[in-house]
Structure 1
Amino acid sequence: MTVYTGGCQCGAVRFRVEGELTHSSICHCRMCQKASGGYYAPLVSVRGAELAWTRGERKRFKSSNFAFRGFCGDCGTPLTYEAPDGLAIAAGAFDDPAALPPTIQYGIEAKLPFTDRLHTLPGIRTEDDVEAAEFINDIVSYQHPDHDTAAWPPEEKA
C-alpha cells in the first residue's frame, strides 16, 4: 500500500494518506486562484484512499454553497478543497509533490494567458541570487521538514 504524508508550512497540521492517488489536477477557476494565492490550484483527490489527520486540525472556509477550503489556522497554508464529490489536498502540501504530477486541468475559462509560457522564463537558482539578495546567506528556515516528526516545533536548546 502506498503511503503519502504532508502538512502545512509551520507543521501545526499534518496528514497521512494510504492508498493509490490517481487523480491529480490543476484548477484555473478564479475561486481556486484566490484560495491558493496562485495562478492556479494544484489539487490531489484522495477519493478511494484513507486520509488521516495526524497532527492538529485544519480550519475551514465555506467558499461556496457546495465547497469548503481547508487551511492551517497558524501559518495559512492552503490544505484542502472539500466538495460533495470528495476531498482534494493541495499538491504542494504533500512532502513529495513530485510524486503526484497533474493529469488534467479544470476551469480553463479563467486560465491566465501567460501560464503556458512560464517554462520559457529565465530561471535562477536560489544560491545564485546571493549578489542581488545578500540576506539569502543568513536565512534560517522555520519551515517544517518534508517528513513526519515526533513533535514540532523542536525544543530550542539553551
Structure 2
Amino acid sequence: METVTGGCQCGRIRYEVGIDNDEAYLCHCRMCQKATGGFAAAFKNVKRANVRWLGDEPDWYASSPIARRPFCSRCGTPLGFAFLEGSENMDLTLGSFDNPGRFTPVSHFGAESMHAKWLDTSALKQMRTDEYQPLVDKWVAATGEMPK
C-alpha cells in the first residue's frame, strides 16, 4: 500500500489516502455531471478507512437520498462521492489528487449518460496555458509569475 495526497484548490481541505493500485474510472451519470460540471467525473475508488483528512474536514453535500459528496465550501472543489451506508469504499476525484496523472482509467460507469464525442479528443488542436499570452500577462501582472 502506498500513501498519496490531495486536496482542494484553495488548500483548506487536504487528505492522504492509502492505495494499492492506480486504477481509476469515469462516471458519466447525470448526478456526477452536475456535481462536477463536466461531461464525466474521474474517480479513484478507495477504502474509507484509508482516507485521513488533514486539518479541516471537508463539507458534505447530500446529493441524493443514498449518497453524499465531500467538497470545499470555500473554493468549491468537488472531492468525491460516498454512499450513506452499505459500502466500506468511497471515491475521490482524480483532479483533487496532487499527482492525478499517475492514474489509469479502466472503466466507464453511468454509460446511459455518456457523451461519446468527448471520449477521444486526441485529434483536437492543443495549446499550453503558457503559450496564450493574454493569460500569461494576467498572471504575471497579478502575481509576478505563472502558477506552477
TM-score for both structures, normalised by structure 1 = 0.80
Matched residue count: 143
Change in Cα spacing, 1:11 to 1:136, as seen in structure 2 (3 Å) is closer
Checking the alignment, whether the CA contact within 8 Å between 2:23 and 2:104 is kept in structure 1 is no
Separation of aligned partners in 1, 2:115 and 2:30: 10
Q: What's 1:80 paired with?
A: 80
Contact 2:129 2:135 in 1 (8 A): no
Q: Secondary structure at the match of 1:24?
A: strand
Change (3 A) 1:60 1:96: same
Could you tell me the percent identity over the aligned residues?
33
**Shift, 1:129, TM fit:** 1.0
Offset, 1:14:
0.4
Q: Which amino acid letter does the alignment assign opposite residue 127 of structure 1? A: D
RMSD: 2.4
Unaligned 5+ segments in structure 1 are 146-158
Match of 2:106 in 1: 103
Please state how far the C-alpha of 1:113 moved relative to its aligned partner.
3.2
- Find the aligned partners of 2:36 and 2:129 in 1 and give their Cα distance: 23
Q: 1:54-102 deviations in whole A, cap 9, x for unaligned? A: 1211111111111101100110100010014321100110101112222
Q: Is the Cα contact below 8 Å between 1:26 and 1:42 reproduced in 2?
A: yes
1:54-93 correspondence to structure 2 within 5 Å: 54-83=54-83, 84-85=86-87, 86-93=89-96
Which residue matches 1:13? 13
Partner of 2:47: 47
Q: How far apart, CA to CA, are the structure 2 residues paired with 1:78 and 1:132?
A: 25
Kindly state the Cα deviation for residue 112 of structure 1 after the two structures are TM-superposed: 1.5
Unaligned runs of at least 5 residues, structure 2: none
Corresponding position of 1:150: none
Q: Are residues 31 and 123 of structure 1, via their aligned partners in 2, closer, same or farther at CA, if it must alter by over 3 Å?
A: same
For 2:32, the equivalent position in structure 1 comes to: 32
